[in-house]
Amino acid sequence: MSVTPPFWRQPPPPLNPDFLQQGHQRQASLTKPAGSLGRLEQLAITLSAQQQRPRPAVDRVRIVVFAADHGVCAEGVSAFPQEVTGQMIANFVNGGAAISVLARHLGAELEVINLGTAHPLLAHDGVVMAEIAPGTANLATAAAMSEEQLQAALSAGRDAVQRAAGAGTELFIGGEMGIGNTTAAAAVACALLDLAPEILAGPGTGLDADGIRHKVAVLHRALQRHRDTVAEADQPLPVLASLGGFEVAALAGAFLAAAQARIPVLVDGFIASVAALAATRLQPGLTDWLHFAHQSAEPGHARVLAALDADPLLRLGMRLGEGSGAAAAVPLLRQACALHNQMASFQDAGISKGQ
């Protein structure tokens, strides 16, 4: 009797070569010098191949914010108390957060998922309650999560994508919220990239120089504590379980599930990119489905983007998370689609084409 492998073991489909060819032909026919619209041209071509239609569109955008707390906050690695995670969940659904404003401006659907907060959160209209535990364990002294908890987090990401696919989503954005999550993301990135914490750790929610030095010391202890896991960094699931966060794992699961469902993904900042890094270590073919929105001000983000061979669309000095940098890049994707779909061809306009 055959056993179906877990979804994260299933590779995403390749991009459709026929639509890639048609996209290039379409761009070559438009009333402009070849390549004169730069990356907007390739964006449209890639979206066309991802969506398997000659006229791509990103009108229906789903933004999913995964929220969870982190046991490593016991080490004093954040400038904000853990109560803020739950308070921000309420702020998201009440419409006061940056991502809430951006979602409204874009006409995007916003879903908020509670994966587990240190301070109990009552059921709230607009919040998907998918609690795994009251946050992860302290990664500096123990594994952040069990194998079962990791699987639950990955599956929460898949479930969110299934809801998005059922709503006809044309573009998926994953955001995150969790006090302490830049520490967890930096730990995962250090392990996967074999880089020192001094290179990847940054201010997160606003640490000063002494706070960053302390954060680096905590990361060194964590990496030493999990040195056997780190030594097998080609195995991203044990790294996520030992050093990650529920929302980081959920993002990784969501990115994989979105690609499997042929939904393009617009990746946000440092934490989302670390999740993408882990997910691409599981399934290298995922890279065909990822668009990278921006390079954040978090110092380690440039290194993670380089490891992903990613050239972000924007550099605005943002470091908020929540999916906000990705939301800011959506108009560029929409403009790329509009130009691809609506420009006249040389033949249509009666214009002679150069050699």
The amino acid sitting at 41 is: E
Task: Mark whether 322 is an active-site residue.
Answer: yes
pLDDT tens track for 153-209: 999 999 999 999 999 999 999 999 999 999 999 999 999 999 999 999 999 888 999
Distance CA 190, CA 319 (A): 19
CA–CA separation, 270 and 304 (whole Å):
8
- State the DSSP code for 352: P
Contacts of residue 340, Cβ cutoff 8 Å, sequence gap at least 6: 23, 26, 27, 30, 41, 44, 45, 48, 55, 56
Integer Cα distance of 268 and 174 in angstroms? 7
Per-residue pLDDT reduced to its tens digit, 25-82: 999 999 999 999 999 999 999 999 999 999 999 999 999 999 999 999 999 999 999 9
Give the global pTM. 0.97
Phi and psi at residue 314, in whole multiples of 5°? -130, 150
